[in-house]
A and B are shown apart, each in its own frame.
Chain A
Amino acid sequence: MALIDTINPLLTTGWAKGDAGWGIKEYEARGGYRQLRRVLESKMTQDDLIAEVKKSVLRGRGGAGFPTGLKWSFMPKAAPVKYVVCNTDEGEPGTFKDRDLMRFDPHAVIEGMIIAGYAVGAKAGYNYIHGEIFETYQRFEEALDQARAAGYLGNNVLGSEFSFDLFAHHGWGAYICGEETGLLESIEGKKGQPRYKPPFPANFGLYGKPTTINNTETFAAIPFILGMGGEAYLNLGKPNNGGTKLFSVSGHVNRPGNFEVPMGTPFSKLLEMAGGMRGGRKLKAVIPGGSSAPVLPAEIMMECTMDYDSIAKAGSMLGSGAVIVMDETVCMVKALERLSYFYYEESCGQCTPCREGSGWLYRVVHRIEHGEGRPEDLDLLNRVTDNMMGKTICALADAAAFPVRSFIKHFKSEFEYHIENKKCLVDPETQRMGSGFFKAGAV
């Protein structure tokens, strides 16, 4: 089970009982579905509901940080058929918060999606669930059955005029389906290749109908926002960065896991909550927002607070909230090689700059790591990324470029050492022991 620790728990209040707290009875006992009931019984208008979400300054938790209320307001009012889609494709390396939300509090996601459906005038929704988490998908199906039996889903929700049904769609191993239009293609039963934008999903989404798509954590926050009011939620965080956020901390810490903290919490505090550095070793670098975010060296990271604006100012992105912590046993060239392989492997291949560029990045970093680097390689890598960024259908090409540029920018001497000496700056035995897999002296 995931370790959790929180300041001002909101999203994680339901996690305390672990696997025993996910059911509908438990959810209702902690106030669940009360907000949906209030919205329906008071016949709240769609505009008032969206205004409340705008007030909270909730920003999308899937990576781009787009204001949720604003996104909802883009949905055309008159369209007869509309959809709400939840993105639980969580495949961004380092991110594992949506899985825990779905395991420990699936009804919060369901309630958030129903309320969103009411706000934008949709009668049906889909939750797209990452292929690798079958057990979580199964539990979500069970939760849907419970919600249907209790009258929260189906025709005339809680006896109101409003009808809404919700279904789970299970992915089967493709990172690119996390991109919202790739995801919609995938629900339509096709290859998950992203679409040109515009048109945006709010106008042309699932089956060509207006569609609102949000991340799991975004939907799960909705009942809490309505419960406390948009303004109170905003005030939990800091201006322009409303509320609390889940951070998935992985890598070289004593207690990897999910931590819910108010936006604006110092990184040093988050690191402390995660038990500090494993073996008391020295922090070297942090990727603060999932593998697609630029890496930051320890000294810069230790000055940051965990919110969109602070991390952006430091030259990276809060992204999905996946905080990948690396200590001094890491060879930065090898770390980058693995990330570059990932983007090369997961590029869907329809844009030449991404398909070819991601292959070039991987092969060049690979040859540096394997002692065959050339002095001109670092310039070559930067040039390849220039030809990828902003030149493709979706942001995967940028996601492949950011790590390369930032690793070279902040750890250039380590790359140069590799090219000159044909080996890692960090000695191989130190690297080997860093993972904690091998006990000292054993195997």
Chain B
Amino acid sequence: MNNDNAQLSPEALRRIDREVAKYPAEQKQSAVMAALVIAQDEKGWLPKETIAAVAEYLGMAPMAAYEVASFYNMYDLQPVGKYKITVCTNLPCALSGGVHAAEYVKTKLGIDFNETTADGKFTLKEGECMGACGDAPVMLVNNKRMCSFMLPEQIDKLLAECK
């Protein structure tokens, strides 16, 4: 990949600046988590070069940014499908169908966890507790949209909506 592709758009940099402003002036590194999210939103995932570009912008070592990117589960260090669906299968959800919902999605899409459909549309992930166990089964679409009470009909509807 050439380095120009790793660079972030002016809009992304503006959003990162807003995050930097939340912290004391000498603590720019505090914004790295948010900056990596902004970069991931823009690029679809986080190639090493993009992580390095974020690190450079915040004045930190590329390795320090890479450590963060690899520690937190929701950063994608590999390309993912257009829709990344994360299903919570932890026990409280499983009691109300979390595991069964994941099985249902697997069958419908013909993929297992950590796989992407051949058309590049869907990636399926197994998630941990999302703090929404009362709404089980729950799923997260592209890290940001929480879907509640996902019984078969609701799953069918969600998958059909994802164009």
A interface, CB within 8 angstroms of B: 2-3, 90-96, 98-99, 126, 130-135, 167-175, 186-192, 207, 248-252, 256-258, 291, 322, 324-326, 330, 335, 338-339, 342, 345-346, 432, 434-438, 442-443
Per-residue CB contact flags for chain B residues 121-135 toward chain A (1 = under 8 Å, else 0) read: 000000111111111
Quick check: A133 and B131 within 8 Å, CB to CB?
Answer: yes
Apart from A189-B29, A251-B96, what are 17 other A-B pairs with CB-CB below 8 Å?
A96-B131, A130-B131, A132-B132, A134-B146, A169-B34, A188-B30, A190-B29, A249-B134, A250-B92, A251-B95, A324-B95, A326-B95, A435-B99, A437-B96, A437-B97, A437-B100, A437-B137
- Nearest neighbor of A257 in chain B, beta-carbon distance: B134
State the 6 A-B residue pairs at the shortest beta-carbon distance, nearest first.
A437-B97, A173-B73, A189-B29, A173-B74, A437-B100, A132-B130
Quick check: A250 and B68 within 8 Å, CB to CB?
Answer: no
Q: In the complex, A436 Cα to B94 Cα: how many Å?
A: 10
State how many residues of chain B have any CB contact under 8 Å with chain A: 54
Sample of 22 A–B contacts (CB below 8 Å) = A91-B128, A91-B131, A94-B92, A95-B131, A96-B134, A96-B135, A131-B72, A171-B72, A172-B75, A188-B27, A189-B27, A189-B31, A248-B134, A249-B134, A250-B96, A251-B95, A257-B134, A291-B91, A324-B95, A434-B95, A437-B96, A443-B104
Q: Point out the residues of chain A lying under 8 angstroms from B68, CB to CB.
A: 189-191
Q: In the complex, A381 Cα to B5 Cα: how many Å?
A: 50
Q: Point out the residues of chain B lying under 8 angstroms from A248, CB to CB.
A: 133-134
Q: Point out the residues of chain A lying under 8 angstroms from B67, CB to CB.
A: 190-191
- Which one, A99, A168, A192, A325, contacts B71 given CB within 8 A? A192
Known contacts A190-B67, A435-B94: A170-B34 contact under CB 8 Å? yes
Known contacts A190-B67, A191-B67, A291-B91: A175-B128 contact under CB 8 Å? yes
Q: Point out the residues of chain A lying under 8 angstroms from B74, CB to CB.
A: 131-132, 172-173
Quick check: B140 and A435 within 8 Å, CB to CB?
Answer: no
User: Nearest Cβ in chain A — how far from B69, in angstroms?
Assistant: 9
Per-residue CB contact flags for chain B residues 108-144 toward chain A (1 = under 8 Å, else 0) read: 0000000000000000000111111111110010011
Q: Is B12 an interface residue (CB 8 A)?
A: no
Q: Point out the residues of chain A lying under 8 angstroms from B36, CB to CB.
A: 172
Quick check: A435 and B100 within 8 Å, CB to CB?
Answer: yes
- Nearest neighbor of A434 in chain B, beta-carbon distance: B95
Q: In the complex, A326 Cα to B94 Cα: how many Å?
A: 11
Q: In the complex, A300 Cα to B134 Cα: how many Å?
A: 24
Quick check: B24 and A207 within 8 Å, CB to CB?
Answer: yes
User: Nearest Cβ in chain A — how far from B63, in angstroms?
Assistant: 12
Q: Is B16 an interface residue (CB 8 A)?
A: no
Q: In the complex, A249 Cα to B128 Cα: how many Å?
A: 18
Q: In the complex, A442 Cα to B78 Cα: how many Å?
A: 37
